[in-house]
Amino acid sequence: MNWDQVELNPRIIAAVRRAKLKSVREVLCISDPDLQRLTGLSHSDVKQLLIVASTACRRHPPTPVILLHHRGESSLRLSVGCPVLDQLLRGGLPVGGVTELSGESGVGKTQLALQLCLSVQYPTEYGGLNSGAVYICTEDSFPVRRLQQLIQEQSTVRSDAPQDLISNLQFSDHVYIEHAADLDSLQVCLSQRVPLLLARGLVRLLVVDSVAALFRSEFQASDWLQRNKQLLTFCSALHHLSREFNTPVLCINQVTDVFSGSDDSLGPHSSNVSPALGLVWANQVMVRLMMRRLQGMIFHGDQSSAPRRLEVVFAPHLAQDGRDAGIWREGVQGVSS
């Protein structure tokens, strides 16, 4: 914010200008005595300056939570497109915040992400957000055939929504696909193209499939400091997008093996794998989900599938729990127990 826009005594503004302090934000990062020294203003003037600068930086004054509750913003969820899994997630992914989905390869992470790309397009009364999705691929090329198959099956799987609504939705027109083969192109994508799509209201779901691929391939073990720095920059970009546009962000992550006897200070492991990228990444994640492959076979009509289990590892609003699911032609569907 510029100094012309704040309401302050012109004498103080002139002093601030003389001290070559360009923005309001800059002032807040300087301590009180330093400000007095730099600007030559008195204590009370500096106090006034700080109050005005703080007010300019503040987005909202403290709001009673009851107002948020009544506005219903906080209860908005993006449905996964399956009642059993939605029940596990208490309605679906929270809007705003980074959700991580990790699991071994072939467990069905991408399947679930594709399903979300479709369910986001439904109106809010059917669990969607009435908008499209942007899908950033870093690992593999986008499974476009599978997406087509899922679209064709929508009318059978979404029996809760009216048929004419489903037939009117142009699902494949609203999934925007980006390929990012290295960190630089990912950076460009997140800082330029994705904000544009979000600002125009064309999309309201960001999927990154997967975060691990780039950060695991581009750095050697000895570059961990550099890697952490890049990872934090990436995370702050995701958080910024999620907050600015009130958008759910889904990040798909790989897993690493956990050796028996290694320390369990990060929580109990339900299996012998844990999500990749370590503590730096884990600190940035709000909801951590994990998918596992179980033994055996389950059947659904003429189809058979190896059972999967979707587990909540941690989330501020969810209990540690899990649901069994199968992967069918029409998508990932929970098995009601």
Partner 1 sequence: MQRAVSSLALSPSVKVKLASAGFQFTADLRHLKPLQLSKEAGLSQQEALEVLQAARSEGAGHREGALTALELLQQEEEMRSIITFSSQLDAALGGGLPVGKTTEICGAPGVGKTQLCLQLAVDVQVPPCFGGVGGQVIYIDTEGSFLVQRVVDLATAVIRHCSLLVEDNDQRDAMTSFTVETILSNIFLVRCHDYVELLAELHLLQYFLLDHPKACLLVVDSVAFPFRHFDDLLQRTRLLHSVAQQLITMATRHSIAVALTNQMTTRLRGGQSQLVPALGESWGHTPTIRLLLHWAGPRRLAAIFKSPGHMDTTIQYQITSDGFRDADESEQPQSKRPRTHNDQSAGSQREAGC
- Any contact of residue 97 with partner 1 (CB under 8 A)? yes
329: three-class secondary structure by DSSP: coil
Structural contact between residues 214 and 80, judged by C-beta atoms closer than 8 angstroms: no
- Can you tell me which of 6, 8, 84, 90 binds partner 1, judged by CB under 8 A? 90
Helix (H) or strand (E) holding 113: helix 109-119
Is 195 exposed, middle or buried, given 0-12, 13-18 or 19+ CB atoms closer than 10 A? middle
- Does the footprint of partner 1 cover residue 268 (CB under 8 A)? yes
- Lookup: tokens for 266: 């990060």
CB atoms inside a 10 Å sphere around CB 83: 13
Separation CA 182–CA 190 (nearest Å): 12
Q: Which is nearer to partner 1, 90 or 329 (CB)?
A: 90
Taking CB under 8 A as the binding criterion, the range among 43-51, 180-188, 250-258, 302-310 that sits at the site for partner 1 is 43-51
> For partner 1, what does the binding mask look like between residues 247 and 266, x meaning CB under 8 A?
-----------------xxx
Report helix, strand or coil for 104.
coil
Out of 203, 313, 325, 332, name the contact with partner 1 by CB under 8 A.
Answer: 313
Residues in region 188-227 near partner 1 by CB under 8 A: none
CA–CA separation, 187 and 162 (whole Å): 40
Token code pair at residue 107: 């467990």
Instruction: Indicate whether 18 belongs to the interface with partner 1 (CB under 8 A).
Output: no
With contacts defined by CB under 8 A, name the span among 102-110, 126-134, 193-201, 285-293 that binds partner 1.
Answer: 285-293
Q: Using CB under 8 A, list all residues that contact partner 1.
A: 25, 28-29, 31-33, 36-37, 40-44, 46, 50-51, 53-66, 68-69, 74-75, 90, 94, 96-97, 229, 232-233, 235-236, 239-240, 242-243, 264-268, 278-280, 282-283, 285-286, 288, 313-314, 316-317, 319
